[in-house]
Amino acid sequence: MKKIGVLGAGQLGRMLALSGYPLELDFHFYDTSGKPSVGLGDITIDTKADIENPALAAFLNDVDVVTYEFEHIPLELTQHIESQTDLFPPSRSIKVCQNRAEEKALFTKLGIPTPKYHIVNNAKELKAAVEDLGCPVVAKTTTEGYDGKGQFVIRSIEQCSEAWDSIGNSPKGKMTLIAEEFVDFKRELSVIAARSKNDDMVVYPLAENSHHEGILRYSIAPAPHLNKEISDQAVTYVKELMHELGHVGILTLELFETKNGLVANEMAPRVHNSGHWTIEGCASSQFENHLRAICGLPLGNTDAYSPTCMINIIAVKGDIESIMSLPYAHVHLYGKEERAGRKLGHITVKADTLEELNWRVQNIASFLPGSPDFEGSKNEKN
Amino acid sequence: MKKIGVLGAGQLGRMLALSGYPLELDFHFYDTSGKPSVGLGDITIDTKADIENPALAAFLNDVDVVTYEFEHIPLELTQHIESQTDLFPPSRSIKVCQNRAEEKALFTKLGIPTPKYHIVNNAKELKAAVEDLGCPVVAKTTTEGYDGKGQFVIRSIEQCSEAWDSIGNSPKGKMTLIAEEFVDFKRELSVIAARSKNDDMVVYPLAENSHHEGILRYSIAPAPHLNKEISDQAVTYVKELMHELGHVGILTLELFETKNGLVANEMAPRVHNSGHWTIEGCASSQFENHLRAICGLPLGNTDAYSPTCMINIIAVKGDIESIMSLPYAHVHLYGKEERAGRKLGHITVKADTLEELNWRVQNIASFLPGSPDFEGSKNEKN
C-alpha cells in the first residue's frame, strides 16, 4: 500500500484522497496554511514551510511519493523535497506555473498562441505597455495571483498609476507585472490531461467555463458545439506542454476560444476546479488519473459519459437538502465554513441532452443564493 | 457537520465513509474484531464489546448517530447504545436478522413465502425434520452463520448425525438449527431498499447474484430478463419488512426466483455486497442512501444507469494493473491482506447492452485467478 504525501490540505487534496482509497492508497497532508479542511488522512501543519522543520523530514519519511494540490508553494521547498524523494509533478512544472512570464515564454517556444503582452516593472513601463497594446489591457502580477486576485483591467491610459498602486506595490514589495492585450473571446475553455512517467498521455474532453466576479461558477463538458479542429488543437497543445516539462500527473491548460482560434491563458500543474465534473462524468476522474500517473499505474479512461455540468457552491451553501431531493444532483461539500468568495462545494449533474442539462442546472442554481444566471453554452449564441 | 459512529471497521464501513465525506459527514469506527481494515476516520478498538468500557462511552459521546456494518453484534451492546443515543437501523432489525427463526416468523407473518422449515435442537429432531421435508435439506445455525459458514446440505437421511456434529455442536455450545427444504431455484436475487425516519422508501433495481463456494462472486443489476410482476412483488416485500420493523437505513432481502415465484431466503439490516454495483451504477449509491436515511436527509435516486455487474475479488488480488488498463473497469480495493475466502475488493463494470456486459465481465474475470466462470444471467437459459 503506497502512501501519498500531499502539499496542501484543502478540497483538492480531499477529493484526491477520496478517489485514492479505493486503489489502496493512503494519504498524509502537509499543510502550510494552518487551516486544513481536508478532514481525512494524516495531517502535519507547518505554517512556515520551513525546510529545516523536523516535521518535514518526518513527513517525507512517512510517504512514498509527494504531490501537491496548489502551485503557490515556495519553490525552495519543492526543490528540497525533490532532492529527497519522488515529487510529481516535478518542480519544473511548478516553477513555470508560478511565473506568468516563464509560462508565456514556454507557450511561445512551443508555438502555442498567447495574447500579446509586455513584462513591466514600474508604472512608467506599464503606461508604455498600455500605449502599445491599446485599451483595455489586463494587468496581472507575474506571481501569486489566482481566482481573480492580483488582476486589474485597465480601461483607459489614465488608470495606469492606479493599477500599479493596486497590484504592483504589494505588501511584500514591488511586483513584476504582465500587461496583456484584452482578448475578445467567445468563451473560456480548459483542457485537462494526465501524463505518466513513461510518456503515456490521456486527455479529457474540453470544458466550457463561466466565471463570475473572477471565480469559476459553471463548467460544462464536453464543451458544447466544439469544432473538432479546435479540440484537436487543444489536445496537441496540452500534450506538447506535458512532454516538454517532463510533467507527471494532471496538467490543466486554460484557453480562450476566439474568432481566430485558441489563445492560451494560463496553466496549472494539478487537478483543477474545471475538472470536478469528471468524478461522475467519466470512468476515471481527474483525481484518479493524477494518482495513477504519480504512482506508475496505467492511466484510466477519460471519455465523457454524457453532457455534464459542474456548479460551484460559493460563499453560502444554500438549500442543500432541496438539491439532494433532485434525482440528478450529485452533492460534494468540502467541510468548510461559509465565507465571502470561498469555494464550499460543488454539484455535478449529467443529462442525455444539452437542453435537459440546461434545465437541470438552472433548477439546481435556483437553490444556491448568489449564483449567477446560467444561460447554457456561450457558444450557442455565436 | 454530523459525526457517524459505525460499529465495525471493515470494507462496508470504509465505503460508507467514502460516500459520506462529500456530504460533510465525519466518521468514527468502533471495532470489536481487533483487526480494523477501514483505513480512514477515527477508530476505537474494544475486542470485548464491553458495555462498561469507558471507551464505549467516549465513542458515544463523540458521535451524533450510530449505525453498523454487520449484524453479528451482541444484542446487549446495541440495546445499550440505543438507550444512550440514536441507533439506526434500530436494534429490533438486528435482533430479527440475528436469528433465522425470528426472521422466518416475520416473513410468514407478512405473507412473504419462505422455504418449508423446522426449528431443531438436537440430532433426533433434525432427523425427523429431514424425514418430513425430504432430501436434500439445508441445515443452518439459526444464529451467527454468514458467507456459507454454519451450513450443511443433507443429501441423505444418513447424513443427519454428521450434519448435527458439524454445525449443531459448536465450540460455543449447542446450537439451534433451522432445517429447510431445498429450494429448486432458477437464480438468487436480492432487493436493496432504504427507509427514512418519516417512512419514505426507495428501492434499487433487483440484482441477480451468483455464488461460488458459498461466497458471492457476481451481481448483475438490474437483474436481466426480470418479469415485472416478480420485481413488483420483491419491492412490496422489502417495503413491508422495513415498515413493520420501523427500519431506518438500508435493508437487503435475498430471494430465490423459482418456477412458482419468489421465495425469501434471508435479510440483512445493512448495506450489502450485492449492492456495491450502485456506487457507479446509480446516482445515489446504497452507501449514500444509508447515510441519507440515518441522518434525516432526503433519499436519493436509485435508478440504474445501464446494465452493471459487480465482480468480487476473493482470496487473491490478481492482476489489478491489467484490470486498471481496461477502459471500463472500476477498481475498489479494501486495504486487506490476501487470505483464503476473504473479500479483498470488487470491480464494477457498466455497458450499454447485456451482451457487451458479459464480454467485459469475462475479460475482467480472466485477470482474477480462481474466479468461477461467468456465464451471464442464469435466467437467459430458462
Question: What digits encode the pLDDT tens for the residues A209-245?
Answer: 999 988 999 999 999 999 999 999 999 999 999 999 9
Distances (CA, A) of A315 to A185, A305, A345, A371, B368: 28, 30, 10, 10, 47
pLDDT of A145 > 70? The answer is: no
User: Residue B97: in which H helix or E strand, if any?
Assistant: helix B91-98
Of B23, B26, B335, the CB nearest to A1: B335
Q: Do B22 and A321 touch (CB under 8 A)?
A: no
Rounded Cα distance, A30 and A77, in Å: 12
Q: Do B23 and A331 touch (CB under 8 A)?
A: yes
Q: Which three cell numbers mark A240? A: 506538447
Residue of A nearest to B202 (CA): A327
User: What is the predicted pLDDT for the residue at B49?
Assistant: 85
Q: Do B324 and A1 touch (CB under 8 A)?
A: no
CB A130 within 8 A of CB A154: yes
B332 in contact with A at a CB cutoff of 8 Å?
A: yes
Confidence of residue A146 (pLDDT cuts 50, 70, 90): low
- Locate cell 508560478: which residue? A98
- Which residues in chain A touch residue B332, judged by CB atoms under 8 angstroms apart? 22
Q: For Cα atoms B5, B9, B15, give the angle at the middle one, nearest 5 degrees.
A: 85
User: What is the predicted pLDDT for the residue at B382?
Assistant: 42
Residue of A nearest to B280 (CA): A280
Mean pLDDT for the stretch of residues A301-320: 97
Q: What is the CATH number of domain A2-87?
A: 3.40.50.20
User: What is the predicted pLDDT for the residue at B257?
Assistant: 97
User: What is the predicted pLDDT for the residue at A379?
Assistant: 76
Q: What ipTM score was computed for the predicted complex, to two decimals?
A: 0.93
- Locate cell 496540452: which residue? A238
Question: What digits encode the pLDDT tens for the residues A29-50?
Answer: 999 999 999 999 999 999 988 8
- Which residues in chain B touch residue A335, judged by CB atoms under 8 angstroms apart? 1, 21, 24
Q: Tell how strand B137-141 and strand B151-154 pair up.
A: antiparallel
- DSSP letters for B189-223: EEEEEEE-TTS-EEEPPPEEEEEETTEEEEEEESP
pLDDT of A172 > 90? The answer is: no
Mean pLDDT for the stretch of residues A133-144: 91
For the stretch A332-370, what's the b/e string if a residue is b when 16 or more beta carbons lie within 10 angstroms of its beta carbon? bbbbbeeeeebbbbbbbbbbeebeebbebbebbbebbee
User: What is the predicted pLDDT for the residue at B145?
Assistant: 61
- Interface test mutation site (partner B, options A3, A23, A24, max chain B beta carbons within 10 A): A24
Residues whose CB falls within 8 Å of the CB of residue A192, separated by 6 or more in sequence, listed in order: A203, A204, A207, A238, A250, A251, A252, A253, A271, A272, A274, A275, A278, A286
Distances (CA, A) of A12 to A76, A371, B153, B290: 22, 22, 53, 26
Rounded Cα distance, B278 and B15, in Å: 11
pTM of model > 0.80: yes
Residue B90: cis peptide before it, omega within 30 degrees of 0: no
- Which residues in chain B touch residue A40, judged by CB atoms under 8 angstroms apart? 17, 21, 40-41
Residue of A nearest to B27 (CA): A40
Put residue A261 in one of left, alpha, beta given phi > 0 → left and psi -120 to 50 → alpha: left
Min Cα distance B178 → chain A (Å) is 38
- Locate cell 499505474: which residue? A297
Residue B136: cis peptide before it, omega within 30 degrees of 0: yes
User: What is the predicted pLDDT for the residue at B146?
Assistant: 56
Mean pLDDT for the stretch of residues A58-81: 95
Domain range list for chain B: 2-87, 116-181, 187-365
User: What is the predicted pLDDT for the residue at B55?
Assistant: 96
Half-sphere exposure of B201 (CA within 13 A, CB side): 19
pLDDT of A321 > 80? The answer is: yes
Q: What is the CATH number of domain A116-181?
A: 3.30.1490.20
User: What is the predicted pLDDT for the residue at A380?
Assistant: 60
CB B265 within 8 A of CB B166: no
Closest CA to B39 of B72, B6, B65: B6
CB A270 within 8 A of CB A87: no
Distances (CA, A) of A96 to A70, A99, A248, A268, B333: 13, 6, 14, 9, 36
Beta sheet of A151-154, edge-to-edge order: A117-120, A177-181, A137-141, A151-154
Share of chain B above pLDDT 90, in %: 88
Q: Which residues pair with A268 in a beta bridge?
A: A252
Q: For Cα atoms B200, B188, B311, give the angle at the middle one, nearest 5 degrees.
A: 90
pLDDT < 50 regions, chain B? 381-382
User: What is the predicted pLDDT for the residue at B147?
Assistant: 54
Q: Tell how strand A215-221 and strand A207-212 pair up.
A: antiparallel
Mean pLDDT for the stretch of residues A294-310: 98
- Interface test mutation site (partner A, options B324, B337, B346, B349, max chain A beta carbons within 10 A): B324
Q: What architecture (CATH level 2) is domain B187-365?
A: 2-Layer Sandwich (3.30)
